[in-house]
Amino acid sequence: MNERATRLLLLASVFVIATCGLIYELVAGTLASYLLGDSVTQFSTVIGVYLFAMGVGSWLSGFVTRHEARLFVQVQLLVGLVGGGSAALLFAVFPHVDAFRPVLYGLILTVGTLVGLEIPLLLRILKDRIAFNDLVAKVFTFDYVGALLASLLFPLVLVPRLGLIRASCLFGMLNVVVALLSARVLRLDGPWAAATRWCGALLLALLGAGMAASSHILAWSESQMYADPVVHAVSTPYQRIVLTRGAGDLRLHLNGNLQFSSRDEYRYHEALVHPGLSRLPDARRVLVLGGGDGLAIREVLRHPGVEQVTLVDLDPAMTRLFGSQPMLQGLNGDAFASPKVSVVNEDAFAWLEQPRGTFDFVVVDFPDPTNFSLGKLYTTTFYRRLARVIAPEGACVVQCTSPWAARRAFWCVDATLRAAGFHTEPYHAYVPSFGEWGFILASARPLAGSPRLPDGLRFVTGDTLRSMREFPPDMARVPTEPNQLNNQSLVRYFEEDWARATGR
Amino acid sequence: MPPAPKRPARPSPSPGAPPISRRRFIASGAGLATSLAACTPRGRMEGSLQRPGMDAGHRWRDGHAPSAAALEDVDVVVVGGGISGLVAARALCAQGRLKVRLLELCDEPGGNSSGGNIAGIPHPWGAHYVPIPSPEAQDLVGLLRELGVVTGIDAAGRPAYREEYLCHDPEERLFLHGRWQDGLVPNLGLSARERAEIGEFLERMNVLRDARGADGRRAFAIPVDASSGDARWRDLDRETFAAWLSREGFRSAPLRWYIDYCCRDDFGMDASKVSAWAGLHYFASRDGLAANAPSHSVLTWPEGNAWLAGRLREPVAVADALRPGVMATRVEALPNAVRVDGWDVRQSRAVGWKARHVVLAVPSFVAARLMSGNRPVATPPVQHAPWLVANLWLDRAPDGRGAPLSWDNVWMEGRGLGYVVANHQFLRRNHDGLVITYYLPLDHAEPQAARREAAAWDWGTARDLVLEDLHRVHPGLGGITRRLDVRVWGHGMATPTPGGIWGGDRNVDGRAGERVWLAHTDHGGISIFEEAHAQGLRAARGILHAQGIS
Ligand SMILES: Cc1cc2nc3c(=O)[nH]c(=O)nc-3n(C[C@H](O)[C@H](O)[C@H](O)COP(=O)(O)OP(=O)(O)OC[C@H]3O[C@@H](n4cnc5c(N)ncnc54)[C@H](O)[C@@H]3O)c2cc1C
């Protein structure tokens, strides 16, 4: 390559470096203001720290006495890796660390320092090739023009078209390409040159993969929330279903919330079904709303008198999974294969709108009211509709979060059922992986009969039943407002109570 | 803070409002991450630009009004199938003793309260809510009872509303300083003084709600005609609301933003243009009460007030009285009858009726044109604000920091009034995407000029206008939009400029001749459902009375 071309290439690399450098700064600033809020503070501190770090880099360059070219290439590769991966890293880390800022500023310091090293090194590399006054003029021109380009590209093209993760990966790749090209024009040789090439190729592959997998990076980061290896993960239009398996323990998480652990789910499901159903000796038709895992049905089917079980679950992916996966079929006793069981994949609210006949027992096993659309399934309106499908002598049971951790939420469900005209019997059970958990049995009239429990239960006995109905003072009833569509009081209680209980 | 009128504020979040929980915070952060990471340019967004009734209307304006060869003999012709006309026709059909025809220019009745449907998700094209009425609005409560909206009356006389139709929580949020706050009354980052001024203003409105004139009537009542005739109140119609506010010391920017927002929302123009009487009416006329909801609650449906229009339409259709796609072109008094000429838009032919009575449930400028040569329709000169309404079909809910997606979503820096979410009132969760309805009063210029400007738009222009505003709070929203339909309402709603309510020669008996009855919100001066209902009912009752039917 002739000298002119080399000079041009090196100057072009100033341009790329400047662009990339500013892009990383913008990525960090944007991410920080999105994730932490207060964009003025975030941008100003990010820019400040970044510029300072560049100063540190420039200062450090003074200690470099030889191998400038080699170091330049290495720094370039490192910038590609750290800067290019920064968005992905920050997104992945954010939900998992309490102190996000140290990570953020650590990253900014690193990238800033590396970028700060680059220009002085390049100046020194070029000083023998270009007259000093011309050199300074050119380098800084390219530097500033590159910055302009970056600041225009970023909001107009990169964020809307690519998104932050892909944009930073792309620019990381550009850094790597510059590193590889400069390694060539600077005629690096020996073992370093080969290592550089390998490193560069590896980084390109890595960042390319990062680009391709940008949308999976979140999913991956989420998997870090689970203690055990993820054995099955799928996103449906309604939720994210994740199964994990540890030592002899299978766990189901919906949207990150633990639904059951195979080690103690029997406690939950026995407590959900038997206290109610055991007092309805004539129950023939049973309805299960939610509970697409089939575990509640398994318990229902222990009652030989039950002739028909209808399961209504919004998500076909859930019922399909639990009806076809041997490991899960083992867990629910292959409940979906029973001729008594029929499955409807419909929204419970919409399904209840049509006349459906009546059921002797209804199990309401919805996810906790963590958001307003789930909160609607716990309203007076919902329970009034539900009442229409319960036989006059029948009953329903509602799972309703922890009366210890979310005391007002639990009693709010009770108040809501009462407001909808039900007589209620609240009770609770201890499920180790959940903690103290609450249920409410509700019926038009107080239930008479004494419980006739099926054989083979591991948790519910006559004695446990009695203790379940006692609420110690720390879980005792508190006055609450019934949950209506137009106040969604439950979601608010739930949020506040859990926030307090978990100290967040 | 006292309960504010209509939609303002759930008890306003106190300075120590509950912090966003970490869970919700993460959820919004993660949602955002998905959007930033996976926001790819999608296939071309589809859409349309609609101008209901404009073509036929303009041809008529330009002189196209052929006479019908044969006339059908009927008892009543109702011209215009908006809420006023539907209410009138429904009441006239109720006894089954009158032969009624309801002529509506568009393919479906509804007028400013029409709706549409995208992928099974019904959505509004105009009016989208009705505040719960005060219990003394007996007629309206009666109607709502007939429609199943009111399910009963409690011992204290307060109506119980079907919960499903009350606006579900969370109702409103406002974007300011980079995040969404709960409620529309600005709160986030306000100084103590600004907050106090808002409190004072709302308290003042509370007091005005009970104000009465020397005649014992309420200063600001619904319908407007029920308001006091006392000059002390009526004279407020002579100045602008902005002038009144400044004089009364209500000057702080957040409060004035909020008031301008409300005026634009209800009148299509801000406080500097509307009459002080009308502005105060907005804040001080509502005192709804319910057995099962706070007093400022509103009723709404996925398709907005089109739901009400649909219910009102049913008995009219059953009585075979509905004639959609027909534009009335002339109304002429004959001895003992009225002749109505019309143009059947679909079949392109002239049609005509000879009726005993006619109800003009059309905007006042249309009524005047229909009656040309006859007695002019006496109402104060009415200005009509042009509006743009857009419906966007989204892949999923847009992301945002702070308060969660609500029914009504407004941003302070917005050009428009924000958007309502059609899906919000759904109970079921399995639907394909999300439809939001965006509202923009075209008040950047005089109505005439704004109308002319909007008439030249194509879909692309309108789309860009809408997205530009939405992108202020939802960058990248265009990337998750599958469809964007726009409607321009050239004469959206009456704007009560000073003198617009009590200034002119107000028509108080609702008649323009012995057999011609007026029923349109224009004649009330304020464009709201309750007024349309009262107008329609007054005309129907007048006719029933004249015909000796009770
Ligand atoms: C964008 C927008 C949002 C609104 N939001 C609300 C809201 O949330 N709540 C609320 O209470 N109010 C709202 N309003 C006010 C709304 O105008 C009233 O609630 C109500 O719908 C008015 O009914 P109307 O019958 O008086 O008039 P219109 O709706 O104007 O009805 C007139 C009808 O006459 C027809 N017509 C006109 N000329 C002829 C002719 N020559 N022959 C035959 N038919 C003819 C028209 O097509 C129309 O259907 C809104 C209005 C607009 C424009």
* CA–CA separation, B59 and A6 (whole Å): 72
Which whole-number Å values give the CA distances from B542 to B89, B250, B338, B548, in the listed order?
Answer: 13, 43, 16, 10
**pLDDT above 80 for B119:** yes
CA distance to A442, B47, B253, B452, per residue, from B455 (Å): 60, 17, 34, 5
Q: Report domain extents, chain B.
A: 24-77+90-171+300-342+361-550
Residue B17 has pLDDT above 70, yes or no: no
Q: Are residue A174 and residue A241 in the same domain, yes or no?
A: no
- In whole angstroms, give the CA distance from residue A197 to residue A205: 12
Task: Give the tens place of pLDDT for each residue, A466-494.
Answer: 999 999 999 999 999 999 999 999 999 99
* pTM, entire model: 0.77
Distance CA A236, CA A317 (A): 7
Q: Could you write out the DSSP letters of every residue in B128-144?
A: --EEPPPTT-HHHHHHH
* Type of residue at A195: A
Q: Are residues A62 and A153 in the same domain?
A: yes
pLDDT at B18: 29
Domain co-membership, A338 together with A458 = yes
pLDDT digits (tens, 9 = 90+) for B22-74: 222 223 333 333 333 333 344 579 999 999 888 888 888 888 888 888 999 99
Spatial distance between the Cα atoms of B147 and B168, rounded to a whole number of angstroms: 19
pLDDT of residue B12: 30
Ligand 1 contact, B126 CB (< 6 A): yes
Instruction: Indicate whether A502 pLDDT > 80.
Output: no
Let me know: does A58 contact A116? Beta carbons within 8 Å: yes
Residues A236, A116, single domain; the answer is no
Question: Is B178 within 8 Å of chain A by CB?
Answer: yes
pLDDT at position B373: 53
Mean pLDDT of chain A: 88
Facing B178 at nearest CB: one of A39, A166, A371: A39
CA torsion A307→A313→A319→A320, rounded to 10°? 120
| Chain B CB within 8 Å of residue A498 CB | yes
Task: Provide the 8-state DSSP code for A159.
Answer: I
Mean pLDDT for all residues in chain B: 88
Q: Are residues A142 and A268 in the same domain?
A: no
Out of A34, A238, A485, the one facing B429 most closely (by C-beta) is A238
Closest CA to A19 of A83, A77, A66, A101: A83
Range of the domain at A238: 226-259
> Can you say how many angstroms the Cα of residue B244 is from the centroid of all Cα atoms in its chain?
25
Query: Can you tell me which residue has the tokens 């309260």?
Result: B113
**Residue of A365, A368, A414, A497 with catalytic role:** A365
Verify that A190 and A243 share a domain, yes or no: no
Q: Is A67 helix (H, G, I), strand (E, B) or coil?
A: coil
Task: Identify the band that residue B167 occupies on the pLDDT scale cut at 50, 70 and 90.
Answer: very high
Query: What separation in Å is there between the alpha carbon of B495 and the centre of ligand 1?
Result: 13
**CB of B527 shorter than 6 A to ligand 1:** yes
pLDDT at position B5: 35
**B314's tokens:** 């049913």
Whether residue A331 contacts residue A262, with contact meaning beta carbons closer than 8 Å, is answered with: yes
Q: Which atom of ligand 1 is nearest to the CA of B125?
A: 1
3-state secondary structure of A257: strand
Q: Which pLDDT belongs to residue B22?
A: 26
* Percentages of chain B per state (helix, strand, coil), in multiples of 5: 35, 25, 45
A215 and B38: CB-CB below 8 Å? yes
Q: Would you call A370 helix, strand, or coil by DSSP? A: coil
CA B537, B542, B547, B549 torsion: positive or negative?
Answer: positive
% pLDDT > 70, chain B: 91
Q: What percent of chain A has pLDDT over 90?
A: 52
Q: What are the chain B neighbours of A33 within 8 Å (beta carbons)?
A: 178
User: Is the distance from the beta carbon of residue B150 to the nearest atom of ligand 1 less than 6 Å?
Assistant: no
Q: Which tokens sit at A451?
A: 């419980």
* pLDDT value for B125: 97
For ligand 1, is residue B532 a contact (CB within 6 Å)?
A: yes
- What integer is the mean pLDDT of B331-356? 94
**Does A319 share its domain with A451?**
yes
Residue A348, domain CATH: 3.40.50.150
> Are A165 and A309 contained in the same domain?
no
Task: Choose, out of A158, A368, A373, the residue to mutate when testing the contact with B (most B CBs < 10 Å).
Answer: A373
Q: Among B26, B297, B427, whose Cβ lies nearest the Cβ of A486?
A: B297
The number of the ligand 1 atom at minimal distance from the alpha carbon of B491 is: 53
In angstroms, the CA B340 to CA B330 distance is 6
Domain count for chain A? 3
Six-digit token string for A184: 């060539």
CB contact under 8 A, B163 and A486: yes
B80 CA from centroid of ligand 1 (Å): 9
The residue of chain A with its CA nearest to that of B298 is A486
DSSP states of A72-126 as a string?
HHHHHHHHHHHHHTHHHHHHHHGGG-S-HHHHHHHHHHHHHHHHHHHHHHHHHHH
Look up the CATH number of the domain holding residue A131: 1.20.1250
Whether residues A280 and A243 share a domain: the answer is no
pLDDT at B13 over 60: no
- Please indicate whether, in this complex, the C-beta atoms of B169 and A487 are within 8 angstroms of each other: yes
Domain B24-77+90-171+300-342+361-550 has CATH 3.40.50.720: no
pLDDT in tens, A31-87: 776 666 566 777 888 999 999 999 999 999 989 888 888 888 889 899 999 999 888
Q: What are phi and psi of B462, to 5 degrees?
A: -65, -40
Residues A252, A357: one domain?
no
Residue A255 has pLDDT above 80, yes or no: no
Q: Parallel, antiparallel, or unpaired: how do β-strands B172-176 and B408-411 relate?
A: parallel
Cβ contact A38–B178 (<8 Å) = yes
Query: Looking at the structure, do residues A493 and A369 belong to the same domain, yes or no?
Result: yes
- Tell whether A480 and A455 lie within a shared domain: yes
